[in-house]
A = this chain, B = another copy of it.
Amino acid sequence: MSEIVSAAMIVIGDEILSGRTKDRNIGHLADVLTAIGIDLKEVRIVADEEDAIVEAVNALRARNDYVFTTGGIGPTHDDITADSISAAFGVACWYDDRAYAMLEANYAERGLDFTEARMRMARMPEGATHIDNPISLAPGFRIGNVHVMAGVPAIFQAMLDNVVPTLKGGAKLLSAAVHCPYGEGTIGGPLGEIQKRHPDTIIGSYPKYQDGSFWTELVIRARDRAKLDAATAEVQAMVDAIAVRT
């Protein structure tokens, strides 16, 4: 059996739940993980509340190989991710020597005060290691299997680029798509039969609605190329057979 590597994501931020900011990180992480053979199993968007963050972190880190969080690591009072992750792991949250020195030197160089707010960005759980931030310096961090990153998309993406080489990818889930010009009602029955005959594949049916009519994107996924090809051929033949009949 191919090894499966699983992951979960936690998006931390009232601004996403209020609709004021539209998340752009979920789709990016999903794309990146799929590309390296890691299955994103669940995403949670939670408020800037310690209890909510702790609950999500502890539920998801226990049952996934990796957890990725975005948001709440800045210098303001509503940035409570470092404290919440520390609480989830039951460790102290304090200034990290290296992060502190790095930020202190950077602000000195720029002639800016190293305010208490700015110092907050050097705080992380005891035992955490840095995730470098090439854009705005203040690091994310990793503790256990949890990777804590920024919410600003450009910074999140840059941090994730630094994390990816450290991850153990799984057997990549291969996929093939079959365009189906008919609605799901037409193909639902035979498609279910094909799924039953190909238990090691995952056959998904995604209805699309455009200009008043339906079409369907059929996606076949498998970790084995031969199994993928066999199921895909049957799905394609099913669609072709409908075209002949109609």
Question: Which A residues have a C-beta under 8 Å from some C-beta of B?
Answer: 14-23, 26-34, 39-48, 52, 74-79, 107, 112, 115-118, 120-121, 135-136, 151-152, 154-155, 173, 175, 184-189, 191-192, 195, 202-209, 214, 219, 221
Q: Are B30 and A16 in contact (CB under 8 A)?
A: yes
A155 proximity list for chain B (CB < 8 A): 209
How many Å lie between the Cα of A205 and that of B80 in the bound state?
Answer: 12
Knowing A76-B191, A185-B121, A189-B117, say if A44 contacts B43 (CB, 8 Å).
Answer: yes
**Please, could you name 24 A-B residue pairs with CB atoms under 8 Å apart, sorted by A?**
A16-B43, A17-B40, A17-B43, A18-B221, A19-B27, A19-B32, A19-B34, A20-B175, A20-B219, A21-B206, A22-B27, A41-B52, A42-B46, A74-B205, A76-B191, A77-B203, A78-B204, A107-B185, A117-B187, A117-B192, A118-B185, A135-B209, A136-B209, A152-B208
A68–chain B nearest beta-carbon distance, Å: 13
CA separation between A76 and B118, bound complex, in Å? Answer: 53
Quick one: closest B residue to A74, CB to CB? B184
* B47:A45 contact, CB within 8 angstroms: no
Report which of B14, B186, B209 forms a contact with A204, defined as CB distance below 8 A.
Answer: B14
| Closest-CB distance, A239 to chain B (whole angstroms) | 13
